[in-house]
Each structure stands twice: as structure tokens, then as C-alpha cells.
């Protein structure tokens, strides 16, 4: 399940293999993959043709490929199971291939041995997709203006995040997953950062002290940086990075998926609790629930 580190790995792959190539054509094999492109699949493909791709950017779990000659960008979200693969044009289609983008071979692509390859969006569960949007003056696709900066962004404002937590009448894991407060954190890294911080997921944010917020942010950054160093992660075999190699980091997980296994800090069996139609993993001893439970 791609979160910020995995998406960043994909972004770097695209920088290597796709930037500065010109789109020759695109093919949408499943309409749901472009459902965020409201004008439809035909409009999506027609408007891509002939444009040259710029340097890929990312905010949180969104990444986008700017078109160099127009203030627009191809926005991508991988959802649960999305992959962006660079494959030889001659490679057989993947079972869940949703979108194919072909490129014109140019001297630029020949220089990087990218010639003869195409970009494929493969997505089993179809929660992800591509779409084309206008970009704001700072280069951000307009439809993700509500997405907050992510914790690895140098312009992320720790103090503003802390004040936002204080104003909320919510609990900490909900806040971590709220992409309008802090982006890029999903269920896995939320549980990991909370475990490192010894915080229970249901702890109200309103009472957070500044040191507590800053420590949590530090752990969020640490766990993401560690995952990035290993090449992103997804013990989920569905996840493959842009070069088609599977990444991951599963051996470094301290909380997620460890129900019944001993806490790596105190040895107490880890627990799993149903939470927001998913799961939260935590140590019942290190991460004590708040006194007043919702």
C-alpha cells in the first residue's frame, strides 16, 4: 500500500525514465482508471498527445508529470494497488493494465536507454488513477490544492501543524491520516510512528503539548526516511516500483501487521483493533489508551 516513501520511489523512477520524453499516444483500457478526469477517457488521451513531460513532482501520496509547454499536469494516485511500470513496448500486457502511455523515441530518450519503453498504469483494485489538470502558478495541479504539505517537505510548518492539532476535536490517528493536515501518511506509517511515540491511536489531539507533537513528527519523518532508504516498501507483493522491482521494508515494521507478536520494546503481545473500517496495531502496554475513551 503505497504511502509517501513508495510514491517518492516511483517519482524518482519516473524522473529517470519518463522526464523529457514526448507522448506519442495513450490508451485507456479501463475507464475507472481515469474517473477523476471528468471529461472522459477520449479527452484524456487526445490532450496528452504530442506533449513533452517535465520533471515529476510529488506532494504526499500524489505525484504528477507536468507538461512542459502548457500549465497542465498528469496527476497520478496509486490508491491501494496502483503501479507505474516502465516496460518494453513488446512486453505482454499485465492482467490489470489500465492505461498505456507511448512515447516518441527521440535523442533524449536514446541517451537514457529509455527508447523502446512505454509507461503503464497497472492497478488491480482500481482505487488509483491518472487525470489531467490545470496547474496553479506554483505548479500544483488545481484539484489537490487542499492537500497539505508532507512532513518531508522543507516548507512543512511544524508549529502550524501543532496548532491545528490543538484546535481539532479529534484523535491522533485520524489527524495523521487527514491529508489536509499532513499528507503522505497512511495506515501503516501512522501505526509505526504512533508506536515509536508510545501514543495510543485514540488519544485526543486537543491536549497535545508542543514537545509531544514535535516528537511525533520526528518519528513520522524517521520511519518514512528509513523506508525511503530501503527503496520504499510494500510487503504487499502488489507493489512494484517503477522499474518493476519489488521494494520493501517489511522486516523493519514494529507495529503494523504484528498482532500477537511480542512488542519489540517490552515483549507484550501486540494487539489489533478494528478501526475506521481498517485495523490499528499497537502495544497495550507501551501505548496506553486515553482515560476517557470515545
Contact 246, 240 (CB under 8 A): yes
Contact 114, 41 (CB under 8 A): no
Between CA 77 and CA 82, with CA 80 as vertex, the angle to 5 degrees is 55
Please count the other Cβ atoms lying within 10 Å of the Cβ belonging to residue 28: 20
Check binding of 168 to DNA (CB under 7 A): yes
**Which residue stretch of 18-26, 107-115, 186-194, 262-270 sits at the interface with DNA (rule: CB under 7 A)?**
186-194
**Which residue stretch of 17-25, 110-118, 124-132, 220-228 sits at the interface with DNA (rule: CB under 7 A)?**
124-132
Q: Is 6 a catalytic residue?
A: no
Please count the other Cβ atoms lying within 10 Å of the Cβ belonging to residue 79: 17
**Which residue stretch of 44-52, 63-71, 223-231, 275-283 sits at the interface with DNA (rule: CB under 7 A)?**
275-283
- The residues near 91 (Cβ < 8 Å, ≥ 6 apart) are none
Choosing from 39, 42, 111, 125, the residue that interacts with DNA (CB under 7 A) is 125
Task: Give the C-alpha separation, 221 to 10, whole Å.
Answer: 19
Nearer to DNA, 32 or 285 (CB): 32
27: enclosing H helix or E strand: strand 22-28
Q: Is 94 a catalytic residue?
A: no
**Which residue stretch of 134-142, 169-177, 219-227, 285-293 sits at the interface with DNA (rule: CB under 7 A)?**
169-177
Check binding of 106 to DNA (CB under 7 A): no
To DNA, the closest distance from the beta carbon of 50 in angstroms equals: 28
Check binding of 246 to DNA (CB under 7 A): no
Q: Is 15 a catalytic residue?
A: no
Choosing from 145, 146, 154, 291, the residue that interacts with DNA (CB under 7 A) is 146
Sign of torsion, CA 42 47 51 55? negative
Sign of torsion, CA 160 166 170 175? positive
User: What string of DSSP letters covers 53-89?
Assistant: B---EEETTEEEEEBTTSSEEEEEE-TTTEEEEEEET
Binding mask 196-235 for DNA (x = CB under 7 A): ----------------------------------------
Binding mask 24-63 for DNA (x = CB under 7 A): --------x---------------------------xxx-
Task: Give the C-alpha separation, 116 to 102, whole Å.
Answer: 9
Choosing from 95, 113, 145, 291, the residue that interacts with DNA (CB under 7 A) is 95
Of the candidates 2, 56, 141, 151, the residue annotated as catalytic is 2
Distance from first CA to last CA of the chain, Å, rounded? Answer: 28
Q: What residues line the site for DNA (CB under 7 A)?
A: 1, 3, 32, 60-62, 77, 79-80, 95-96, 124-127, 144, 146, 167-171, 174, 177, 179, 186-188, 256, 272, 274, 276-279, 294
Q: Among all residues, which ones are annotated catalytic?
A: 2-3, 61, 278
Amino acid at each position: 500500500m503505497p504511502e509517501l516513501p513508495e510514491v517518492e520511489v516511483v517519482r524518482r523512477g519516473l524522473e529517470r525514465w519518463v522526464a523529457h520524453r514526448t507522448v506519442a499516444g495513450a490508451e485507456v483500457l479501463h475507464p475507472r482508471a481515469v474517473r477523476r478526469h471528468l471529461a472522459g477517457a477520449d479527452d484524456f488521451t487526445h490532450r496528452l498527445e504530442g506533449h513533452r513531460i517535465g520533471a515529476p513532482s510529488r506532494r504526499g501520496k500524489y505525484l504528477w508529470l507536468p507538461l512542459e509547454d502548457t500549465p497542465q499536469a498528469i496527476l497520478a494516485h496509486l490508491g491501494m494497488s496502483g503501479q507505474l511500470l516502465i516496460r518494453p513496448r513488446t512486453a505482454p500486457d499485465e492482467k490489470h493494465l489500465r492505461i498505456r502511455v507511448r512515447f516518441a523515441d527521440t535523442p533524449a530518450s536514446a541517451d537514457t536507454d529509455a527508447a523502446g519503453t512505454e509507461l503503464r498504469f497497472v492497478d488491480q483494485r482500481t482505487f488509483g488513477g491518472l487525470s489531467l489538470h490545470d496547474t496553479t502558478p506554483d505548479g500544483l495541479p488545481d484539484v489537490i490544492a487542499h492537500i497539505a504539505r508532507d512532513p518531508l517537505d522543507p516548507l512543512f510548518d511544524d508549529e502550524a501543524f501543532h496548532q491545528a492539532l490543538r484546535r481539532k476535536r479529534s484523535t491522533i490517528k485520524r489527524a495523521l491520516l487527514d491529508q489536509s493536515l499532513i499528507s503522505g501518511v497512511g495506515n501503516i506509517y501512522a501505526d509505526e510512528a504512533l508506536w515509536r511515540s508510545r501514543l495510543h491511536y485514540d488519544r485526543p489531539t486537543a491536549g497535545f503539548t508542543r514537545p509531544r507533537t514535535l516528537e511525533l513528527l520526528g518519528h513520522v519523518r524517521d520511519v518514512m526516511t528509513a523506508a525511503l532508504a530501503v527503496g520504499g516498501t510494500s510487503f504487499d507483493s502488489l507493489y512494484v516500483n517503477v522499474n518493476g522491482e519489488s521494494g520493501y521494508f517489511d522486516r523493519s515494521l514494529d507495529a503494523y501487521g504484528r498482532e500477537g507478536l511480542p512488542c519489540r520494546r517490552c515483549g507484550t503481545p501486540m494487539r489489533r483493533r478494528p478501526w475506521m473500517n481498517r485495523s490499528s496495531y499497537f502495544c497495550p502496554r507501551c501505548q496506553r489508551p486515553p482515560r476517557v475513551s470515545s
